[in-house]
């Protein structure tokens, strides 16, 4: 017997009485599917976009201000000062916030997800996807960002911190968790994460504040997981020696203290 039509009263009754062999729920759009379809519609239309985000290099993004409710606090305060909805609303981001980070954040505002789309050959993000306008004599590929996957996700986490955007932070963190705990076993990738998150505060290589230490904890967890499951004794020793050589003394001391605390 084939899958039953979920909109058929007989099938629904049989299902309610637990006598239906199977109902084809694929024909019923889930709440998540409807939400995604709705948000993708908003992302693809220019209607109703009334909030300007001016990013570095003259790149402008225009979005629907109502989608900022409950998201980035600074954006929401600009969009709805004293519930005034009449004036044009815009926010100027600091010059060090790259347009490609803003571009993926705009996608996240609408769809609760974003893609990274790394040019693997050159380890860089290239293409703007959701901008409203560009400065003269530029195109969507004019604003390269020299970052690989790890750096980009950490930078997105940092953007979430800067804008008090907790769901963006959570999403970037979940991507890093998936990558380092369930994906890459490459020691060079794990080393890179450690070197980023254990940089001293204020270093341009740190990419985020990591105020609560979540990314440091992830780095330590990744090392311990791979030491247990994937790296032999020789590989463990090689990784430890490599880190000790490449981290300066304060960074190494902090890393090693965190490592021992978690392991013990």
For 156-183, write each residue's pLDDT tens digit: 999 999 999 988 998 898 888 888 887 7
Q: Is the pLDDT of residue 259 over 70?
A: yes
What average pLDDT does the segment 150-155 reach?
A: 94
Give the confidence band of 25 by pLDDT, cuts at 50, 70, 90: very low
Distance CA 1, CA 104 (A): 46
* Higher local confidence (pLDDT), 184 or 3: 184
Burial of 212 (0-12, 13-18, 19+ CB in 10 A): exposed
For residues 225-243, average pLDDT? 83
Question: Over the chain, what is the mean pLDDT?
Answer: 82
Q: Is the pLDDT of residue 119 over 80?
A: no
Q: Rounded to an integer, what distance in angstroms lies between the CA atom of residue 101 and that of residue 159?
A: 8
Q: What is the mean pLDDT of residues 219-245?
A: 83
The pLDDT tens digits of the residues spanning 59-115 come to 999 999 888 888 898 998 888 887 665 566 789 999 999 999 999 999 998 888 898
At residue 156's C-alpha, the angle toward residues 187 and 207, to 5°, is 65
More confident residue, 197 or 233: 197
- Sequence-separated contacts (24+) of 210-219 with Cβ below 8 Å: 210/157, 210/161, 211/161, 214/173, 215/154, 215/157, 215/173, 215/176, 216/258, 217/258, 217/262, 218/173, 218/176, 218/177, 218/180, 218/181, 218/193, 219/180, 219/190, 219/193, 219/194
Residue showing tokens 């909109």 = 7
| Cβ neighbours of 133 (radius 10 Å) | 10
- Determine the average pLDDT of the residues in 117-126: 73
pLDDT of residue 240: 84
Q: What angle do CA 124, 129, 133 make, to 5 degrees?
A: 115
């Amino acid at each position: 017997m084939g899958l039953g039509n979920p909109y058929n009263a007989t099938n629904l009754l049989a299902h309610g009485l637990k006598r239906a062999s199977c109902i084809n729920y694929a024909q019923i759009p889930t709440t998540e599917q409807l939400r995604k379809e709705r948000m993708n519609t908003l992302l693809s239309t220019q209607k109703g976009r009334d909030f300007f985000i001016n990013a570095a290099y003259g790149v402008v993004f225009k979005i629907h201000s109502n989608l900022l409710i409950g998201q980035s606090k600074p954006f929401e305060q600009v969009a709805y000062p004293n519930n005034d909805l009449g004036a044009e609303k815009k926010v100027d981001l600091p010059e060090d916030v790259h347009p490609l980070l803003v571009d993926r954040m705009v996608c996240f505002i609408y769809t609760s997800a974003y893609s990274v789309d790394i040019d693997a050959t050159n380890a860089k993000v290239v293409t703007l996807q959701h901008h409203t306008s560009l400065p003269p004599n530029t195109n969507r590929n004019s604003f390269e960002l020299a970052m690989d996957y790890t750096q980009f996700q950490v930078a997105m986490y940092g953007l979430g911190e800067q804008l008090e955007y907790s769901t963006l932070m959570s999403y970037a963190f979940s991507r890093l968790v998936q990558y380092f705990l369930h994906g890459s076993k490459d020691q060079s990738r794990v080393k890179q994460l450690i070197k980023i998150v254990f940089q001293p505060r204020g270093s341009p290589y740190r990419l985020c504040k990591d105020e609560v230490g979540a990314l440091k904890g992830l780095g330590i967890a990744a090392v311990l997981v791979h030491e247990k499951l994937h790296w032999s004794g020789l590989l463990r020793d090689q990784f430890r020696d490599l880190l000790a050589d490449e981290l300066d003394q304060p960074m190494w001391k902090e890393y090693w203290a965190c490592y021992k605390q978690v392991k013990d």
